[in-house]
Amino acid sequence: MSTITDEGKKIELYIPSIMGFEKVAMECAASIAKIMGFNDDRIDDLKTAVSEACLNAIEHGHGMNASLKVGITITMAESSLQVAVHDKGGGIGQIDLPVIENKIEDESNTRGWGIFLIKNLMDEVKFEKTAEGKNVVRMIINLKKRSEGQGSDIPEKS
Amino acid sequence: MNRDIEISVSKNNDVSILNIKGDVTAVTGEKLEDAYEKISAEGAKKILLLFDKESYINSGGIAFLISVASESKKREQSIRLTGLSEHFQKIFHMVGLTKYMSLFPSEESALDGF
């Protein structure tokens, strides 16, 4: 890459609150991660995390109101990539992470895995509320961490 | 925007195989559940879910798979999985789905001894 300014390290996009458009943000983040040199495993982790953050914004933040846009800000740093997904919703508040055994027993509510996946796949995750009232999920993925020795058979988290 | 899902059903001896092509999401998951209900109504006890390595699977799709796992437990069915990319194998382990559906590296190995 040729010399890039600080402002140039920030990429912003907006998607309508329609299921399926999360893929636009997901592929954009993946393309940037590839340019930065992330390996394929970590790019797959990033894709799932970005997709889930956008889905939460589309569904819960905006109630699938297609006229509301979900904003995605992707910031490249020396050794990490940050993705901030913002919506105009009220935020997620305190949520209990799901447990599969409970979901298997109570089939009426099998959903709610988005935050769980984001927290498990990203190196840092923050949930913030801006002064303008926007709800932001800020995720950071590091170039080096978890890049090696992580096969498909990772231990299950309880 | 979601790539649609295509599900075809085949049999190998007493194993019912659901061949799943495309995205598994909150939008398409119902078709997967319908296909599962159909083979269950026909008496399937051994089921192989054959995924597409290129598939996009999100939390909405995972929720449908948990419903299938829950139903299969009540119906005393056995479910095996194959064809998932390494990433989604990892995700299925993470979520805990592999406690209820056994993961196999290939269709042949999944059918072997089923």
Q: State the SS3 of chain B.
A: CCCCEEEEEEEECCEEEEEEEECECCCCHHHHHHHHHHHHHCCCCEEEEECCCCCCECHHHHHHHHHHHHHHHHCCCEEEEECCCHHHHHHHHHHCHHHCCEECCCHHHHHCCC
Within its chain, how far is the Cα of B2 from the centroid? 19
Within a domain: A2: no
The answer to whether residue A61 sits within a structural domain is yes
What local confidence, expressed as pLDDT, does residue A12 receive?
96
In this predicted structure, what is the pLDDT of residue B62? 97
| Domain that residue A63 falls in | 9-142
Mean pLDDT of B22-50: 96
Residues 121-140, chain A, touching B (beta carbon < 8 A): none
CA distance linking residue A43 with residue A37, whole number of Å: 10
CATH number at residue A92: 3.30.565.10
Q: Is A65 domain-assigned?
A: yes
Can you give the pTM of this predicted structure? 0.90
Distance from CA of B56 to the nearest CA of A (A): 9
Helix ranges restricted to H, chain A = 22-36, 40-56, 100-105, 114-121
Nearest CA in chain B to A108: B67
In this structure, the number of other CB atoms found within 10 A of the CB of residue A60 comes to 16
Of B33, B37, B18, give the one whose Cα is nearest residue B82.
B18
Q: What is residue A96's predicted lDDT score, i.e. its pLDDT?
A: 82
CB A45 to CB B87 under 8 A? yes
Beta strands B15-22; B46-50: pairing state:
parallel
Nearest CA-CA distance, residue B6 and chain A, Å? 17
Q: Do B1 and A110 touch (CB under 8 A)?
A: no
pLDDT given at position A156: 39
A154 within some domain: no
- Whether A133 is covered by a domain: the verdict is yes
Q: How many CB pairs under 8 A join A and B?
A: 90
Residues of B in contact with A30 (CB under 8 A): none
- With CB atoms and an 8 Å threshold, state whether A101 touches B66: no
Give strand pairing partners of A138. A84, A126
Q: Please state the φ and ψ torsions of residue A21, each to the nearest 5 degrees.
A: -70, -15
Confidence at residue A152, expressed as pLDDT on a 0 to 100 scale: 39
- For residue B3, the model assigns a pLDDT of 60
What pLDDT does A77 receive? 95
Inspect the interface and report whether the beta carbons of A51 and B58 lie closer than 8 Å: yes
pLDDT of residue B42 exceeding 90, the answer is yes
Q: Give φ, ψ of B86 to 5 degrees.
A: -60, -35
Contacts of B86 in chain A (CB under 8 A): 41, 44, 151-152
Query: Average pLDDT for residues B29-56, to the nearest whole number?
Result: 96
Asked whether B84 and B94 are in contact (CB, 8 A), the reply is no
User: Is A152 within the bounds of a domain?
Assistant: no
- pLDDT at position A157 is 39
Residue of B nearest to A21 (CA): B1
**Any domain includes A3:** no
Closest CA to A50 of A9, A97, A99, A86: A86
Rounded mean pLDDT of B15-34?
Answer: 95
Q: What is the rounded average pLDDT for all residues in chain B?
A: 95
Residue-by-residue pLDDT tens, chain A, 158 positions:
566 777 779 999 999 999 999 999 999 999 999 999 999 999 999 999 999 999 999 999 999 999 999 999 999 999 999 999 999 987 766 778 899 999 999 887 899 999 999 999 999 999 998 888 889 999 999 998 654 444 433 343 33
The Cβ-side half-sphere exposure at B52, using a 13 Å CA radius, reads 16
Q: Which of A52, A104, A114 has its CB closest to that of B69?
A: A104
Cβ-count burial A95-129 (b if 16+ within 10 Å, e if not): eeebebeebbeeeeebbebbbbbbebbbbebeeee
pLDDT at A151: 41
Token pair of B55 as six digits: 């598939």
Q: How far apart are the first and last CA of chain B?
A: 37
Structural domains in chain A (count): 1
Residue B108 pLDDT > 70, yes or no? yes
User: How many angstroms separate the CA of residue B9 from the nearest CA in chain A?
Assistant: 25
Q: Would A20 be classed as within a structural domain? A: yes
pLDDT the model gives residue B37: 97
Residue B1 is nearest to which of A20, A41, A104, comparing CB atoms? A20
pLDDT tens profile B45-93: 999 999 999 999 999 999 999 999 999 999 999 999 999 999 999 999 9
Residue with tokens 């090696």: A148
Q: Is the pLDDT of residue B39 over 60?
A: yes
Q: Does CATH place domain B5-111 in 3.30.750.24?
A: yes
| Nearest-by-CA chain B residue for A150 | B90
d(CA A27, CA A43): 10
Mean of pLDDT values over B20-44: 95
| A-interface mutation test, from B57, B90, B98, most A Cβ less than 10 A away | B90
* Cβ within 8 Å of residue A110, ≥6 positions away: A103, B63, B64, B66, B67, B70
Where do the structural domains in chain B lie, given as residue ranges?
5-111
